[in-house]
């Protein structure tokens, strides 16, 4: 079943990030269904987390949707080339987010290959936050899109996801956040080849 908006509006972003591992992310962009199982996420909290774009109430053109109520997409460009896909959580004004870093393709693989320009399924089809957005057709145009809608949504297939299959570790690429960089807010599905390549 499709996760309702209420799922994202709960206050504990770390718990939401953990629960999203094993759920299924789908998009129907240009009328084509693509998606797969989420195998890697990271939590970003607006309070006490320097790595979060909304830390200390930063409010810019880029971060403004983070301050809306949970359940919408926060897409932005990094390094001038890659779109990263986050889901805003918590209630309006409490700008928390979950970054989707890794996906195991299950639906619409042919279309994903086309979008990625690959001849055959390979690990680099969706293993990495900048890659899965390409494969799913997510761009900055989807900034602010409802993730419980008909364009982008997440389904719960009621798979058993035992704790021992979930690995918590520090997040990636945020050394600038000082001590906060050590917070174990990155969640991966143990043994999945579809987790992102970054250390």
Partner DNA sequence: TATCAGATCGACT
Partner DNA sequence: GTCGATCTGATAC
The contact set with DNA (CB under 7 A) reads 42, 44, 51-53, 58, 60-63, 74, 76-82, 84, 86, 97, 99, 116, 124, 128-131, 171-177, 196-198
Question: Least separation, in Å, of the C-beta of 102 and DNA?
Answer: 9
Q: How far is the CB of 1 from DNA (least distance, A)?
A: 26
Nearer CB in complex with DNA: 7/44:
44
Is the Cβ of residue 20 or residue 97 nearer to DNA in the bound state?
A: 97
Would you say 114 or 177 has its CB closer to DNA?
177
Tell me the C-alpha to C-alpha distance, in Å, between residue 171 and each of 17, 99, 108, 154, 186: 12, 10, 29, 23, 5
With tokens 């021992």, the residue in question is 164
Instruction: Please report how close the Cβ of residue 115 comes to DNA at its closest, in angstroms.
Output: 11
Is 23 or 46 the residue whose CB approaches DNA more closely?
46
Q: Which is nearer to DNA, 79 or 179 (CB)?
A: 79
Q: What minimum distance in Å lies between the beta carbon of 77 and DNA?
A: 5
Closer residue to DNA (CB): 19 or 180: 180
Give a three-class secondary structure readout of 111-180.
HHHHHHCCCCCCHHHCECHHHHHHHHCCCHHHCCCECECCCEEEECCCCCCCHHHEEEECCCCCHHHHHH
* Pairing of β 166-169 and β 152-155: unpaired
- Provide the minimum distance between the beta carbon of 155 and DNA in the complex, in angstroms, as a whole number: 22
Answer positive or negative: Cα dihedral of 3, 67, 85, 17. Answer: negative
At how many degrees (to 10) do helices 129-136 and 109-116 cross? 110
Alpha-carbon distance of 126 to 42, in angstroms, equals 16
Least Å from the CB of residue 51 to DNA: 6
**Structure-token pair, residue 43:** 């939590």
Distance CA 74, CA 55 (A): 15
Tell me 53's DSSP state: T
């Amino acid at each position: 079943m499709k996760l309702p908006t209420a799922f994202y509006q709960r206050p504990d972003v770390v718990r939401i990030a953990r629960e999203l591992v094993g759920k299924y992310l789908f998009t129907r962009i240009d009328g084509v269904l693509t998606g797969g199982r989420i195998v890697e996420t990271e939590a970003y909290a607006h309070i006490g987390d320097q790595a979060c774009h909304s830390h200390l109430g930063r409010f810019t053109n880029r971060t403004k949707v983070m301050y809306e109520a949970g359940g919408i997409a926060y897409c932005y460009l990094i390094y001038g080339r890659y779109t990263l896909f986050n889901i805003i959580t918590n209630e309006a004004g409490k700008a928390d987010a979950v970054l989707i870093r890794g996906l195991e393709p299950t639906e619409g693989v042919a279309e994903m290959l086309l979008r990625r320009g690959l001849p055959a399924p390979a690990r680099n089809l969706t293993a990495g936050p900048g890659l899965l957005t390409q494969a799913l057709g997510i761009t900055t145009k989807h900034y602010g899109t409802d993730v419980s809608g008909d364009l982008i949504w997440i389904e719960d297939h009621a798979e058993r996801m035992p704790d021992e299959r979930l690995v918590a570790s520090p997040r990636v690429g945020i050394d600038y956040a000082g001590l906060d960089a050590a917070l174990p807010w990155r969640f991966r599905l143990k043994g999945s080849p579809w987790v992102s390549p970054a250390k």
